[in-house]
Amino acid sequence: MDERNLRLLEQFSRILSGDGDPSDLGCHGTVGELLARSHEIFPDVPVCVVSDWVWVDISMSVEMTARLRSTRNLEPAVLYSESVQFDEKGRFGPGSVVRTSCLTQFKAPCFFRTRNTLYVMQGPGVRLSVEPDVITNMVF
């Protein structure tokens, strides 16, 4: 295996193992409490509550980041969790794995919004950075 593939594999392994910097962006409360808070702030957006989450920043050049923002209105970040607690759309059962699409909006303290879903980060998690190829090759 060449050096590039080893580097990408190491970054992918960090996501799966949650080997990042501890983050306190998650909210505390029961699933019911978090759903109620979510609907107050984002009344028309389906909610998915996740715990043991990993906020993955996608390392991009300034130019690529600007292009992503200007042409697609996206931020270079995704959320990964092996612990879905509740999904309003019924796509993921409790304990399922999810990797989101790119972030469209973050609202502190714990609301990670994509185009179609509001992900609520429950409890503590981690944050790390990876190369774009790691995310594009992450298929479940």
Q: Is the pLDDT of residue 140 over 60?
A: no
User: Do 32 and 120 form a contact (C-beta atoms < 8 A)?
Assistant: no
pLDDT band at 4 (very low <50, low <70, confident <90, very high): confident
**pLDDT tens-digit map of 117-132:** 999 999 999 999 999 9
Name the pTM for this structure.
0.93
Q: Which domain holds residue 40?
A: 3-136
Question: What domain count does the chain have?
Answer: 1
The neighbouring-strand residues paired with 111 are 107, 120
C-alpha separations of 74 from 38, 56, 101, 123 in Å: 21, 14, 9, 25
Q: Would you mind telling me the total number of residues written for the chain in this entry?
A: 140
Neighbouring C-alpha atoms within 13 Å toward the C-beta of 63: 0
